[in-house]
Amino acid sequence: MMPLAYLCDFDGTVSPHDIGAAIAERFSRDGEAARVPELAAWRAGRLGHRALTEAQCAVMRATESEALEFTRGFTLDPAFAPFARAALAGGDSVMVVSEGFDFYVRDQLARAGLAELPWAANALIFGADGAVEPRFPFADPACDACGNCKAAHVRRSRARGFHTVLVGDGDSDRHGALEADTVLARGSLLEWCRAEGVVHTAVRNFADVSAWAREAALLRRDDQRNDGRPGRPLRAAGWGRT
């Protein structure tokens, strides 16, 4: 039976709120980082999110302690931790892949009792003068779209023998969605999947993802009983892309 690897977007998905967008607005003068010209270019698809993050960080000022104090006003989808624990207990894998920043992804997961869950995000370096500088340890040097290449995370999980499931809500999930075997989408990712004909299942939250996971587990169990071929019922149910 092929195990599933859930690759979960953070802002707007694991966290119902976009914490990255909120800190950009909160920690720039008069919310300037939420109005940089690069934002319109990114929304129009003319600029990658990596360049947008750099432009926003250039007008932000924050210390790590005040940034953490602010982000602790947000919480995760309450269904995420139970979902992750059940998936791990069932032999599947769960990883958070975020185009946001390391300091709040790490903190939010730890506060939800998920400090051991693997995650990858962009890094934010806090300078002594309040200046902040982004770093992109998971960028694809051959592509300037994203800071954190979700497509590469999906490919890595598949190479390790997993049926990959991308869970996301936004534009920075598109390349990961195109690589994934299964897409669970909400928000603008859902609209894009519909417009582009990318096979997907619509979800509202992690209660829906859990329901999908339980159904997938039943189908995989039946499949094993019938002929043992991995993955087939997921595709037969219209959940796979292939």
By C-beta, is 201 or 233 nearer to Mg ion?
A: 201
By C-beta, is 114 or 185 nearer to Mg ion?
A: 185
By C-beta, is 11 or 179 nearer to Mg ion?
A: 11
Please, what is the minimum distance in Å from the beta carbon of residue 223 to Mg ion?
A: 32
Please, what is the minimum distance in Å from the beta carbon of residue 183 to Mg ion?
A: 14
Please, what is the minimum distance in Å from the beta carbon of residue 224 to Mg ion?
A: 34
By C-beta, is 12 or 16 nearer to Mg ion?
A: 12
Please, what is the minimum distance in Å from the beta carbon of residue 105 to Mg ion?
A: 12
Q: By the criterion CB under 5 A, which residues form the site for Mg ion?
A: 9, 11-12, 169-170
| Three-state secondary structure readout of the chain | CCCEEEEECCECCCECCCHHHHHHHHCEHHHHHHCCHHHHHHHCCCCCHHHHHHHHHHCEECCHHHHHHHHCCCCCCCCHHHHHHHHHHCCCEEEEEEEEEHHHHHHHHHHCCCCCCCEEEEEEEECCCCEEEEECCCCCCCCCCCCCCHHHHHHHHHHCCCEEEEEECCHHHHHHHHHCCEEEECHHHHHHHHHHCCCCEECCCHHHHHHHHHHHHHHHHHHHHHCCCCCHHHHHCCCCCC
Please, what is the minimum distance in Å from the beta carbon of residue 85 to Mg ion?
A: 22
By C-beta, is 47 or 234 nearer to Mg ion?
A: 47
